[in-house]
């Protein structure tokens, strides 16, 4: 926060709907030792199917022939979902084939490393973990594999699981059209269509004794538009990272759940563009202080602090569910009688970390009794190394320089300013941090008015992503920016490879050219 006046506080009672603090999500290749867990998932996924859909010897054969194509998702080191596939020379089969022909009596002799199509032979997720978009992760991993192996497409036969209910009145073509138009809900077909697959053909007698589908299947296809793309692998650090900024509108909220609904809306909106990060502003939850305008300032802010851990848990759940890393903005936290301004990093694998604002403004100290934190560390994510600072922190160059020495690629700065003066301090210093540390800097703030919360009547912000200054970057160092004082999101791509080139071959090399023989940064705080 960087304001002329402090906030007053209100409190609304609610409960958290889901606790995911201990959930650790991992995507990796399947191994033979996973079969015990895999078998349990299969039994639950197939609604008590007595025979083993996949025998151990089948899994071993797949792993022997094509280990890269067998992908699993784990929760707390236990397999909870799986996607199995092989590579085929598709012209040998054509569009009229059966599942048995593809798997060749589970010998998988049809697997051809020199083939052109990644054929999906199985996907399942444990019922207890459905609704967390884990199947989407498995499909995304398949797409990455298809690109990395330079294969033409992904193809599989999708069951039409509700066609049996409509077979008397609808042809397979009519059924698919109604599913596409959301007139009929088919959880399998709807999911495939929403994941950029299209129906290539309808096949009869694809899977034996598939009563619910009346022996029909929709041959689904996803085309690899990057057919010549350089090889990539699952969980490889990305070269291009997508950042989503939430320029949050301060508004009256009548309940904790209303805040959660807005959080869900913005996370959904940013993740829909396949963003790797979402950044919320400093003290974005201030509208919850409305009911406590009658309290003194220090008492009111402590009431707001009572929401913080519940809001954190909401963000943890959203990060996993929407497959996005979230910097939560900042919130007040009361610990051992002391008040801190804290922001959380909620990773999409279910893990989380935090940063406490180091530099507290005079208003925060005098009116609220806030204290500054004493820990600064780099944060590792699946999309690179990041640093976090809160508003006023960015006006001090020492912390970001410590981050830079630890390999920071992106600096995230949630902020809250009421005047253009305060905003320009944050903006100008954020740009300076990008130049001097040869990194990207993303800032996000709140806008609008909040008349029913004391001292929150005016907000001013223009969220933005800043770059270093060199030939590979925009001449004004602005990668993207929001419209001032308008609620919106900003989505921007930043190229990590450009930073590597800048560090070594830039027209100036700020980090390398420091005179360490004359000066150095000495850290006295906690590691």
Give 238's contacts (C-beta < 8 A, 6+ positions apart): 276, 382, 383, 384, 496
- The mean pLDDT value of the chain amounts to 88
The 8-class DSSP code of residue 492 comes to E
Q: Which of 147, 291, 285 is nearest to 223 (CA)?
A: 147
Of the pLDDT bands very low, low, confident and very high (cuts 50, 70, 90), residue 5 is very low
The predicted pLDDT at position 49 comes to 45
Residues 436, 439, 444: CA angle, nearest 5 degrees: 105
Which run of H or E residues covers position 381? strand 379-381
Reported as a single tens digit per residue, the pLDDT across 454-481 is: 667 789 999 999 999 999 999 999 999 9
DSSP three-state, residue 331: strand
Beta strand 464-466 with 384-388: parallel, antiparallel or unpaired? Answer: unpaired
The catalytic residue positions are 282, 357, 391
Over its C-alpha atoms, the chain yields an Rg (Å, rounded) of 26
- DSSP string of 430-498? HHHHHHHHTSEEEEE-EEB--TTSTT-S-B----EEE--SSTTS-TTSEEEEPPTT--EEEEEEEEHHH
Helix intervals (H) in 246-385: 256-271, 297-305, 308-321, 362-363
Ordered by where they begin, the domains of the chain are: 25-223 (3.40.630.30), 240-505 (3.60.110.10)
Token code pair at residue 373: 């934190």
Q: What does the pLDDT average to over 41-59? A: 74
The predicted pLDDT at position 484 comes to 95
Q: Is the pLDDT of residue 132 over 80?
A: yes
The predicted pLDDT at position 125 comes to 92
Whose structure tokens read 């994941």? 195
The predicted pLDDT at position 185 comes to 92
CB 56 within 8 A of CB 44: no
Length of the chain: 527
The predicted pLDDT at position 4 comes to 38
Of the pLDDT bands very low, low, confident and very high (cuts 50, 70, 90), residue 3 is very low
Of the pLDDT bands very low, low, confident and very high (cuts 50, 70, 90), residue 434 is very high
Reported as a single tens digit per residue, the pLDDT across 374-403 is: 999 999 999 999 999 999 999 999 999 999
For residue 411, what are the β-bridge partners? 387, 441
Q: What does the pLDDT average to over 225-235? A: 61
Residue 486 or residue 235, greater confidence? 486
The pTM for the full model equals 0.76
The predicted pLDDT at position 305 comes to 92
d(CA 403, CA 255): 38
The predicted pLDDT at position 212 comes to 85
Of the pLDDT bands very low, low, confident and very high (cuts 50, 70, 90), residue 231 is low
Of the pLDDT bands very low, low, confident and very high (cuts 50, 70, 90), residue 50 is very low
Q: Is the pLDDT of residue 159 over 50?
A: yes
């Amino acid at each position: 926060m960087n304001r002329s006046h402090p906030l007053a506080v209100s409190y609304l009672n609610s409960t958290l709907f889901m606790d995911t603090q201990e959930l650790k999500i991992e995507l990796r290749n399947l191994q033979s030792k996973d079969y015990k867990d895999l078998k349990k998932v299969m039994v639950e996924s197939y609604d008590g199917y007595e025979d083993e859909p996949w025998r151990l010897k089948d899994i071993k054969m797949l792993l022997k022939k094509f280990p890269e194509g067998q992908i699993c998702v784990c929760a707390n080191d236990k397999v909870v979902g799986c996607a199995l596939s092989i590579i085929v020379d598709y012209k040998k089969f054509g569009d009229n084939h059966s599942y048995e022909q593809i798997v060749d009596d589970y010998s998988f002799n049809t697997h051809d490393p020199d083939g052109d199509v990644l054929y999906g032979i199985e996907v399942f997720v444990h019922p207890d973990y459905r609704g967390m978009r884990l199947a989407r992760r498995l499909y995304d991993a398949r797409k990455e594999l298809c690109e990395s192996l330079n294969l033409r497409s992904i193809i599989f036969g999708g069951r039409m699981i509700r066609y049996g209910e409509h077979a008397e009145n609808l042809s397979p073509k009519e059924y698919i059209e109604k599913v596409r138009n959301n007139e009929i809900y088919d959880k399998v077909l709807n999911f495939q269509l929403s994941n950029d697959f299209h129906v290539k053909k309808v096949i009869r007698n694809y899977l034996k004794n598939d009563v619910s589908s009346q022996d029909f299947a929709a041959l689904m296809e996803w085309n690899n538009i990057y057919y010549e793309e350089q090889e990539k692998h699952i969980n490889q650090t990305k070269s291009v990272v997508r950042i989503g900024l939430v320029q949050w509108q301060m508004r009256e909220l009548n309940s904790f759940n209303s805040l959660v609904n807005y959080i869900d809306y913005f996370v959904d909106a940013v993740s829909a563009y396949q963003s790797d990060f979402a950044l919320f502003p400093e003290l974005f939850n201030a509208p919850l202080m409305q009911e406590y305008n009658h309290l003194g300032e220090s008492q009111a802010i402590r009431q707001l602090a009572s929401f913080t851990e519940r809001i954190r848990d909401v963000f943890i759940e959203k990060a996993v569910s929407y497959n996005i890393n979230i910097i939560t903005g900042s919130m007040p936290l009361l610990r051992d009688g002391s008040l801190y301004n804290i922001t959380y990093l909620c990773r999409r694998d279910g893990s989380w970390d935090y940063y406490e604002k180091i530099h507290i403004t005079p208003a925060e100290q005098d009116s609220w009794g806030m204290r500054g934190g004493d820990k600064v560390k780099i944060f590792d994510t699946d999309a690179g190394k990041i640093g976090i600072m809160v508003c006023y922190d960015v006006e001090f160059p020492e912390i970001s320089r410590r981050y830079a020495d630890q390999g920071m690629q992106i600096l995230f700065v949630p902020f809250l300013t009421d005047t253009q003066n305060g905003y320009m301090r944050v903006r100008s210093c954020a740009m300076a941090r990008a130049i001097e540390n040869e990194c990207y800097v993303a800032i996000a703030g709140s806008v609008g008015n909040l008349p029913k919360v004391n001292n929150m009547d005016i907000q001013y912000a223009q969220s933005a992503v800043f770059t270093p200054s060199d030939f590979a970057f925009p001449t004004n160092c602005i990668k993207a920016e929001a419209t001032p004082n308008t609620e919106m999101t900003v989505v921007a791509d930043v190229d990590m490879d450009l930073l590597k080139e800048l560090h070594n071959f830039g027209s100036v090399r700020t980090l390398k050219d420091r005179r360490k023989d004359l000066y150095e940064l000495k850290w006295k705080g906690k590691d």
